[in-house]
Structure 1
Amino acid sequence: MILFDFDGTLVDSNGVWEVVDNTFLARRGLTPTQEYSETVGHSIFPLAAQFTIDYYHLDTTPQAIMDEWTQLGREAYLSQVPAKPGALAFLEQCRRQGEDMVLLIACVPEFCHAALKRLEMEDYFSRLIFVQELGMLKKDPATFVHVLKELGTSPEESTLYEDSPGACASAKAAGLTVVGVYDPFYARFEEELKGLCHRYIYSFTELLQP
């Protein structure tokens, strides 16, 4: 079983959310801090929205924030977000080898489906699992234990491809084989990921067989 993250792993989209966050804050005369950006960067929408309210003492609701984020992010996923180099070719290679592939993602479902269809990726995956629908976070090892049990497989038989240091650490703690994928959003954690993951790649092209 191969599990794939989506944002920052298969598609180059983390920059989109940085722009969304910065635009949202700029409209209110606010500036993002490193702590804020790191916290919301790979959190699920409801928790990130509540954190934003608490962090900046905003007089609004999580739903209102999520609606604004959704409006800001929709167009990028519908027309702009590109696949990472070699990602499509690697998915095709895995399919030829008979691998069962699943997406384990925190992306907004509407955006994910739109990008998957546009990039012709959707047919590669037997399941799409959105962690927000589980009410769980990928930085918690229990999430991977739960998902693999649901999929009927074991950590020893499973590999995760992921760009987030927190998710990589929790997957490793849960017993999965972890392949870290470079993304500029997490560039400052590169050495940490190299030490943490079983393998670290800069591009899926490194994994393509001749």
Structure 2
Amino acid sequence: MFLFDLDGTLIDSNGIWKNVDREFLARRGLPYTHAYYEGVAHTIFPLAAKFTKEFCNLPESCEEIMAEWMELAEDLYAHVSIKPGVRAYLKQCKAEGRRLAVVTSSVPEHCRTALKALSLEKYFENITFAHDLGLEKKSPEIWLTAAKAGGVRPEDCTVFDDSLAACWGARAAKMRVVGVYDNYFAQDEKEMRSFCDVYIRSFEELLWLPEQRRR
């Protein structure tokens, strides 16, 4: 079974959250720093809000912080772009009879909005939401949960993700990992290449060649 991350892997959405974070902090006269980015990147909403409240020493509750983030993101997921080669690769996977699912840290509302807007829902059997489980993707538990939801063994799963931490979690769950390049996490490319079973800059690299299609 193939398990796909959403943000930064299937869709070009990491920029949404960088812009949201910058605006959120600017409203409070705070800078957007690498330390802040490291604290909120690739984690679930409640934990990102908890980190933000403590890191920035904010008086707002975690619920108020998350509500403001949702307001700032608004309907951006309805207009997000699909990453190059993704649609063609998903079609190819279906033609090969592969089973596909999504495992994401994205807020369920945003995930479903993006998949619906891009007509990608039909490709996936199910979605495992880290948000609902209260787990981060660096934990093997979320990957084991996704495998169980699909009725497959973890070692029969291949994970596609742009996050090094998520790839660590999937590998700890005994899954094969395909690292996916995303510009917002380009600094991790070298380590991703050395750690992952396969590393791609684009899903276009995985498409059949014309002569292969004829066989």
Q: TM-score with structure 2 length normalisation?
A: 0.95
Amino acid paired to 2:169: S
Letter in 2 for 1:15: G
Query: Residues of 1 paired with 2:125 and 2:18: CA distance?
Result: 30
Listed as ranges, the matches of 1:190-205 within 5 Å are: 190-205=189-204
| Distance (whole Å) between structure 2 residues aligned to residue 114 and residue 147 of structure 1 | 21
Name the structure 2 match of 1:142. Answer: 141
Larger deviation, residues 127-136 vs 19-28? 127-136
Percent identity, please: 46
Deviation at 1:134, TM superposition (A): 1.1
CA distance in 1, matches of 2:188, 2:143: 22
Q: How does 1:11-160 map to 2 (within 5 A)?
A: 11-79=11-79, 81-160=80-159
My pick for the range that moved more, 140-149 or 178-187, is: 140-149
- 1:162-197 deviation line (CA, Å, top 9, x unaligned): 000100111112110100000011100100000110
Q: Which residue of 1 aligns with 2:177?
A: 178
Question: In structure 2, what is the Cα distance between the partners aligned to 1:136 and 1:51?
Answer: 15
Q: Would the aligned equivalents of 1:18 and 1:41 in 2 still touch at CA under 8 Å?
A: no
Task: For 2:8, give the aligned amino acid.
Answer: G
Rounded Cα–Cα distance in structure 2 between residues aligned with 1:179 and 1:208: 15
Amino acid at match of 1:55: F
Is the Cα contact below 8 Å between 2:108 and 2:131 reproduced in 1? Answer: no
Question: Structure 2 CA distance, aligned partners of 1:145 and 1:6?
Answer: 18
Whether the 8 Å CA contact 1:180–1:193 is kept in 2: the answer is yes
Runs of 4+ in 1 over 4 A off after TM superposition: none
Taking structure 1 as the reference length, the TM-score comes to 0.97
1:112-154 deviation line (CA, Å, top 9, x unaligned): 1111111110110000111111111101122212321232211
Q: Which amino acid aligns with 2:112?
A: H
Alignment gaps of 5+ in structure 2: 210-215
Q: Distance in 1 between the 2:121 and 2:141 partners?
A: 27
**Equivalent residue letter for 2:197:** H
1:20 shift after superposition: 0.3
* 1-structure distance, mates of 2:118, 2:203: 16
Q: CA–CA distance in 2 between the matches of 1:44 and 1:201?
A: 25
- Rounded to whole Å, the distance in 1 between the matches of 2:107 and 2:163 is 17
Letter in 2 for 1:14: N
Whether the 8 Å contact between 1:139 and 1:167 is mirrored in structure 2 is yes
Answer yes or no: is the 8 Å Cα contact 2:44–2:136 preserved in 1. yes
Aligned residue for 1:129, secondary structure, equals: strand
CA–CA distance in structure 2, aligned partners of residues 189 and 51 of structure 1: 22
Count of residue pairs the alignment pairs up? 209
Matches of 1:55 and 1:200, distance apart in 2: 33
* Alpha-carbon distance between aligned partners in 2 of 1:42 and 1:195, rounded to the nearest angstrom: 20
